[in-house]
C-alpha cells in the first residue's frame, strides 16, 4: 500500500513537470515566431478653455462655477481596430488644465500600423446629463520610431477657444528595428552592432567581421603498410 502511494506521488510530480516543460516550449515558440513588436504611447495635455464654454452650445458649462472636465479617449489603427479606449477622472471647477491629463501605452504583438486615428471627447460632468465641451479628431502617421508626433488640436470652427495638445510616440521593443518595428536584430558580439533599419554590421560600418574565414585543409598523408605473414604448408 505504501509503495503504491509513493508511486502515485512520483507520477503526479512527473505530470506537473511535463506540463511545465510543454508550457515553457510554447512560450519560447511564440517568442521566436513573433513577427515584430512596437509600443505606442498616447498623451494629452494643456486643455485650454479660458471662458469655460461648450463648443456645441456656445454656452458656459455652469452658470455660477467653472467646468468639470473629463475625457473619453479612443485610438484606432488603420483598420479601425481599437488600440486604446479610456475615460479619465473628473477635474472639478477647472476650465483649463495646463498639464498632462492623460497618458497610456499599448504594446502591439505585430508590426506597427502605418497610421492611427484619435478621437477625444472633452466632457463636462453635469446634472442630469453630461455635456460635450469639445470634440477632437486627429490622424498620426507612424513612420518615425523614437520621434514623437505632437499636434495642437482645435475644436469645431464655431468655437476656436477650446484646444488640446496630443502627442503620439512610437518605440520599438528590444531586438526590433525599422519603421514598423518588424526587423529582428540581436547583437551577440562585441564587434557588431544593429543599425536603425535592423541590419547587423560591424562597429566600423563594414561587413568584414561577419565573414567566416575559410580555413585551408591540411593534407595528411597516410601510408598503408603491407605485412606478409608466412604460411606454412
| Domain residue spans of the chain | 38-173, 178-210
∠ CA 130-161-92, nearest 5°, is: 40
pLDDT average per 10 residues of sequence, the chain (233 residues): 54 45 31 61 94 82 87 94 96 96 92 91 90 92 73 71 90 87 84 86 74 42 39 45
Report the pLDDT value the prediction gives residue 129, as an integer from 0 to 100. 87
Pick the CATH number of 38-173 from 3.30.465.10, 3.40.1390.10, 3.10.129.10, 2.60.40.3510: 2.60.40.3510
Report the pLDDT value the prediction gives residue 202, as an integer from 0 to 100. 86
First and final C-alpha spacing in the chain: 74
CA distance 195 to 124: 48
CA distance 52 to 69: 10
Amino acid at each position: 500500500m505504501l509503495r503504491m502511494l509513493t508511486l502515485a506521488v512520483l507520477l503526479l510530480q512527473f505530470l506537473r513537470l511535463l506540463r511545465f516543460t510543454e508550457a515553457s516550449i510554447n512560450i519560447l515558440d511564440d517568442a521566436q515566431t513573433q513577427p515584430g513588436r512596437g509600443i505606442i504611447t498616447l498623451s494629452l495635455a494643456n486643455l485650454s478653455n479660458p471662458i469655460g464654454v461648450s463648443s456645441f452650445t456656445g454656452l458656459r458649462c455652469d452658470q455660477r462655477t467653472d467646468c468639470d472636465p473629463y475625457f473619453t479617449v479612443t485610438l484606432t489603427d488603420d483598420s479601425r481596430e481599437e488600440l486604446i479606449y479610456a475615460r479619465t477622472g473628473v477635474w472639478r471647477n477647472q476650465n483649463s488644465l495646463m498639464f498632462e491629463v492623460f497618458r497610456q501605452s499599448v504594446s502591439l504583438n505585430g508590426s506597427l500600423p502605418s497610421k492611427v486615428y484619435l478621437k477625444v471627447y472633452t466632457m463636462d460632468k453635469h446634472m442630469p446629463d453630461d455635456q460635450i465641451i469639445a470634440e477632437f479628431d486627429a490622424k498620426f502617421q507612424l513612420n518615425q520610431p523614437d520621434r514623437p508626433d505632437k499636434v495642437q488640436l482645435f475644436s469645431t470652427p464655431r468655437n476656436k477657444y477650446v484646444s488640446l495638445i496630443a502627442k503620439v510616440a512610437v518605440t520599438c521593443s528590444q531586438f526590433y528595428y525599422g519603421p514598423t518595428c518588424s526587423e529582428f536584430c540581436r547583437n551577440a558580439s562585441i564587434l557588431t552592432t544593429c543599425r536603425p533599419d535592423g541590419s547587423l554590421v560591424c562597429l566600423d560600418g563594414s561587413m568584414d567581421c561577419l565573414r567566416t574565414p575559410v580555413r585551408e585543409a591540411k593534407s595528411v598523408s597516410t601510408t598503408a603498410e603491407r605485412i606478409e605473414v608466412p604460411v606454412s604448408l
